[in-house]
Amino acid sequence: MTKTLKETFEAQIPKLRKERVKLMKEHGSQVISECTIAQAIGGMRGVKGMVCDTSVVEPDKGLYIRGKSILKLKDKLPEEIFWNLLTGTFPTKNELALLQKELRAAGKVPDYVWKVLKAMPKTSHPMAMLDTAILAMENESAYRREYSKGIPKTEYWISTLEDAMRIMGTIHTIAAGVYRIKYFKGKLIKPSKRDMGADFARMLGLPPHKGQTAEMMRLYLTLHCDHEGGNVSANTCHTVGSALSDPFYAVSAGLNGLAGPLHGLANQECLNWILETMDKFGGAPSEKEIEDYAWETLNAHKVIPGYGHAVLRVTDPRFTAFNQFGKKYLKNDPVFQTVDRVFKVVPKVLKKHGKAANPWPNVDAGSGALLYHYGLTQFEYYTVLFSVSRAMGMLTQQVLNRALGTPITRPKSVSTKWLKKQVKK
């Protein structure tokens, strides 16, 4: 029988709730983590203090979505990944078609959103435009509407999922609109019945390159979908959502975090760095030239974007997936060749430099070369693409938390004075 995403998830809820109650009741006092002073000062790195079931990042293996390595899922459609993030299962062919139909039905972007975007200064960052558009759409929130009617807590997830579908149905259209408004690309292109990745590429107005642009976009949206719960954007979305703010507030807030250069904005910085090396050396630089430029960057006390990670300690499998795509289609592209060469050189330099705990490339090191090749040359826009995908993780995490009644986030902070007292003890 063909089921909707809502029906499939609804059937899972009783078991999930029971499991959580049992864990809390029988093992609630079990210690799973400790926190040192270095961790309290250092961004809580490694402190286990929240639950996220959509995905896990294994330091030595990379991203696992619902127990499966991202490399095994790279050929799935973003819509299938959205379903999988929420339910841990995959839709049948008919269920996928139904989900796509529902997303299209939720896909109308209100006119006031376009007016807001068009009124923004031409110098606004595309991430500020995307986040503003999502926040402006808060007016559409089913959750806010239902909550104000006084619905029971056990039903919060229903309207949260409705909002999630609304955001998922519109975010690629909004993002494409941001691109066309910001870069004077002419009229907005209306959505069609294509799958999300293909339609997004089309609405941006990119040349199709015999279907390769759509293939690249699907891959891009699938690979960036989620990265467990503690990263800045997921954690921010979680915290805002835990106050029962609706998904429009929470996702917009999370994406504001993604806009930071140490997080999602790194992909814009990465391509910039690659193009700077090419500029400096007049084309694809040699390995020696890259090595010299890497040292120049480090000696100027700057980071090499796209390298290092707070959790990962190996080459990010998402970088590997982009690299494989590049080797298949872009072998002769000098930007891709430079990215590939940087991959050979920079880990050795970072190891010698001795600071970065992880000298290997993360997801942002390679994606820009592909986007650039297929005509997306405005790298200031790249984090918007990342956001369209990452919204899937944020939204599904929020629906799960509503279904499970996860309480408001409130870690305890301590003062430096208190820390000093502890040390004396």
Based on the shown chain and the rule CB under 6 A, indicate whether residue 239 belongs to the binding site for ligand HAX.
no
Query: Does the active-site annotation cover 309?
Result: yes
CB 86 within 8 A of CB 66: no
The least CB distance from residue 358 to ligand HAX, in Å, is 6
Q: Name which of 62 and 264 has its Cβ closer to ligand HAX.
A: 264
Q: With CB under 6 A as the contact rule, which of the stretches 4-12, 84-92, 195-203, 298-306 interacts with ligand HAX? A: 298-306
CA distance 120 to 274: 30
Closest CA to 156 of 337, 402, 326: 402
Residue type, 377: T
- Binding ligand HAX (rule: CB under 6 A), the pick from 238, 309, 341, 402 is 309
Q: If DSSP codes are grouped into helix, strand and coil, which group holds residue 75? A: coil
Site string for ligand HAX, 360-379 (x = CB under 6 A): --xxx---------------
* Other beta carbons within 10 Å of 123: 7
Give the active site residue among 172, 309, 353, 373. Answer: 309
Q: With CB under 6 A as the contact rule, which of the stretches 32-40, 160-168, 186-194, 307-315 interacts with ligand HAX? A: 307-315
The least CB distance from residue 368 to ligand HAX, in Å, is 12
Q: How far is CA 111 from CA 125, 176, 177, 398, in A?
A: 21, 15, 12, 27
The least CB distance from residue 120 to ligand HAX, in Å, is 24
Give the distance between the most distant pair of CA atoms in the chain: 69
Q: Name which of 204 and 298 has its Cβ closer to ligand HAX.
A: 298
- Binding ligand HAX (rule: CB under 6 A), the pick from 5, 174, 271, 304 is 304
End-to-end CA distance of the chain: 64
Q: Which of residues 241-280 bind ligand HAX (CB under 6 A)?
A: 262-264, 266
Q: How far is CA 22 from CA 58, 90, 242, 337, 350, in A?
A: 26, 27, 22, 53, 46
CA distance 249 to 231: 18
Distance from the Cα of residue 11 to its chain's centroid: 27
Distance from the Cα of residue 222 to its chain's centroid: 10
CB 233 within 8 A of CB 272: no
Site string for ligand HAX, 44-63 (x = CB under 6 A): --------------------
CA distance 77 to 221: 8
- Binding ligand HAX (rule: CB under 6 A), the pick from 308, 317, 347, 366 is 308
Applying CB under 6 A, the site for ligand HAX has a residue count of 20
Q: Name which of 339 and 363 has its Cβ closer to ligand HAX.
A: 363
Q: Name which of 157 and 307 has its Cβ closer to ligand HAX.
A: 307
- Binding ligand HAX (rule: CB under 6 A), the pick from 303, 375, 378, 404 is 303
Roughly what angle, to the nearest 10 degrees, separates helices 156-182 and 247-258? 50
Tokens representing 122 are 């031409």
**Nearest residue relative to ligand HAX (C-beta):** 308
CA distance 181 to 126: 10
The least CB distance from residue 383 to ligand HAX, in Å, is 8
Q: Which residue(s) pair with 62 in the sheet?
A: 58
Site string for ligand HAX, 332-361 (x = CB under 6 A): -----------------------xxxx---
H or E, element range at 422: helix 416-424
The least CB distance from residue 35 to ligand HAX, in Å, is 16
The least CB distance from residue 146 to ligand HAX, in Å, is 33
- Binding ligand HAX (rule: CB under 6 A), the pick from 307, 319, 360, 382 is 307
The least CB distance from residue 237 to ligand HAX, in Å, is 14
CA distance 324 to 188: 33
Report the interface residues with ligand HAX, using CB under 6 A. 262-264, 266, 298, 303-310, 355-358, 362-364
Catalytic site residues?
309
